[in-house]
Amino acid sequence: MSHKRATKRKAFIAAGGVAALGAAALILPNAMASQTESNEAAPKTLAASDAPDLAAQLQELLGDAFAGAYYDSGEKQLVINVIDGLEIDGDDNNVIIQAKQAGAEVREVDNSWSELQEGAATLKEQASVPGTAWAIDPRTNKLQVTADSTVTGENWDTIESTVKSLGTGMATIKKSAGTFKTFLEGGDAIFGGGARCSAGFNVVNAEGAPAFLTAGHCGVAEAEWSEEEGGAPIATVDAATATFPGAGDFALVNYNDPATQAASTVDLGNGQTVNINAAGEAAVGLQVFRMGSTTGLADGQVTGLEATVNYPEGTVTGLIQTDVCAEPGDSGGSLFTEDGQAIGLTSGGSGDCTVGGETFFQPVTTALAAVGATLGDAGAGAGEEAAGGAGDAAGAGEAADGGAAAAAGAGEEEGAAAAGAGEEEGAAAAGAGEEEGAAAAGAGDAAGAGDAGDAGAAAGAGDAGAGHEQGQGVDEQGVDEQGVEQ
C-alpha cells in the first residue's frame, strides 16, 4: 500500500481502484440448451481471477443443488460441485446444462453446501476450543478441521468426538505443528504504541476522506498509528469499525491529514508497486500473493472458505484459509491476485515462512461493506505513484525470470522474508522508503493481540532474510525474481 502527503512525502502501502468483480461479465448460455449440447460441452479454460465471479453466478443459478466450487489451477478450469443423485429434470436439468455450457466442469458430491455450513455451526457450538480452526474445502467436499500443538487431552477429545458426531464423510481433522495466533506487529509497517502491524489497502471512507484497512486486532490494540516507530501519529482508528474477535478481523483507520494522497497500489519493495483495480472474492485453488512488513512478499493458494479460527483472544468467523506463510508483524497486510484484485487482510495462523503453515485472511469485500468504504485513490490521481497494473511491477508480459512462486513460495529457504526489502543494506523501508532497519521486524517485536507480533512488520523489513535484495513484480505468471543478492 502506498500513499503520500500533499508535500510529496512518501508514506505507506495501500490499494484501491473501484471495479467490478472479474475481468468481464460472463454470460450464461440459453436456458433451453439441449442435453446433447451439455454432454458434448467440454470445460473451458478460465483465468483464475475470473473463477470466483463465475462460481458466484452458478451458485445463484443452481440454488440448493450447489455444493461448492473450486479452481483447478493445473487444468485452469472451474469445478462446480452438485449433489449426487439430484433429480435431473425440469429446471434442475436446465441449470446444470447451463453450468456446463458456461464452461464449468460439473462434479457430483455427497455433501451440500448448506450441510457443510450446518456442520461448521455444530463445531462452533460444541467445540470452540482455543487452538482449533475449520473451513469448508470444496475439493474434498468436507470440512477441514485443524488443531494446533496446544490442543491436547480433554480439548483434543472434544474436537475429535465432535468431528465424529458429524458423520462419516463430513469432516477430516489434522494436527498442526505450530500454534494459532494473530500476527500483530504487517504492506508497509505501521506502529502503534508497542504494537506493529501492516497497512492493508488504501480506501476512501464514507465521507470521501482517505483511510486504509488493516486487521481488527491491530485496531483494537492501539487507536493511533504512525509510519515509524516512536513517530507522530498519522492515522486514527475508527473505533466503531474495529472488529475482533467475532464476525471478522478488520478495522478502518482514517488518515489524520485529509490532504493525504493515498495511492491505490501495493508496495512490493525495491521501488516496485502493483495497482489494485478491484475488490474480489476468494475461491479455493485461487493463486494469491501476500505482502507484509516482516516477511515481504509470499504466495500460495486459497485452501478453504468460511473459516472459523479459535484464537486465544476469542473466536473469529468468516475468514479465508490459505497455505501462504506469514509471521508476526504481517497482520493487516494485503492479500491480492496477480491481476490486481484485493482479496484479503492478514489475520493470523500457525507456522512461519521457514516451515510453512496455515494463514487466515479477512475478506476485503466483507470489510469494505461493513465500514462503508471503497477502494480508491483518495486525494491522488488514479495511478499516481503506481508502477502499473498487477503484473506491471516487473512488467506484465515482459521477459522476466519467474513464476509466482519463484520469489515468494512458502517453505522456500529465502521464502518471502525479504520480498519487500529492496535496500542493499538489508534494512527495509518501514514507511515505503523511510529507513526503519531490520530491528523492527523480528517476531515478537510487537505486543500482539494474541502474540508477540503481527504478521506484517516493517515493509519488507528484516527478518532472517532481510539482507537479500529482491526486486519482484506480479505478472501473469506471478512474481518475477530479479536481482537477488546474497
pLDDT at res. 121: 97
pLDDT at res. 40: 54
Q: Where are the beta strands (DSSP E) in 14-101?
A: 66-72, 77-83
| Mean pLDDT for the chain overall | 75
User: Per DSSP, what are the bridge partners of residue 197?
Assistant: 190
Q: Residue 413 has which C-alpha cell? A: 529457504
pLDDT bucket at 165, cuts 50 / 70 / 90: very high
Statement: residue 58 has pLDDT above 50: yes
At 279 the three-state DSSP class reads: strand
The mean pLDDT of 121-127, rounded to a whole number, is: 97
Positions marked catalytic: 217, 249, 331
Q: How far apart are CA 45 and CA 428, in angstroms?
A: 40
Each residue's pLDDT tens digit, 67-98: 999 999 999 999 999 987 665 445 556 777 88
Statement: residue 311 has pLDDT above 90: yes
The mean pLDDT of 265-285, rounded to a whole number, is: 91
* Domains, the chain, ordered by start: 1-21+127-486 (no CATH), 35-109 (3.30.300)
Statement: residue 444 has pLDDT above 80: no
The mean pLDDT of 28-56, rounded to a whole number, is: 66
> Residue 1 in contact with residue 200, Cβ under 8 Å?
yes
The mean pLDDT of 331-348, rounded to a whole number, is: 95
What is the pTM (predicted TM-score) of this model? 0.70
pLDDT at res. 188: 56
The mean pLDDT of 464-486, rounded to a whole number, is: 36
* Cα distances (angstroms) measured from residue 93 to each of 62, 100, 292: 10, 11, 47
pLDDT at res. 229: 87
pLDDT bucket at 378, cuts 50 / 70 / 90: low
> Residue 115 in contact with residue 169, Cβ under 8 Å?
no
Amino acid in position 237: V
pLDDT bucket at 99, cuts 50 / 70 / 90: confident
Q: What is the DSSP annotation of 387-435?
A: --BTT-SS-TTS--S--HHHHHBTT-SSTTTTTT---TTS--BTTSSSB
pLDDT at res. 183: 78
pLDDT bucket at 177, cuts 50 / 70 / 90: confident
pLDDT at res. 286: 95
Q: What is the percent of the chain where pLDDT is above 70?
A: 66
Statement: residue 284 has pLDDT above 60: yes
User: What are the b/e assignments for 455-483, b being 16+ CB within 10 Å?
Assistant: bbbbbbbbbbbbbbbbbbbbbebbbbbbe
Q: How far apart are CA 237 and CA 406, in angstroms?
A: 36
pLDDT at res. 84: 77
pLDDT at res. 1: 56
pLDDT at res. 48: 86
pLDDT top residue among 282 and 447: 282
Nearest partner of 445 among 297, 325, 313, 330, judged by Cα: 330
Q: What is the percent of the chain where pLDDT is above 90?
A: 49
Statement: residue 24 has pLDDT above 70: no
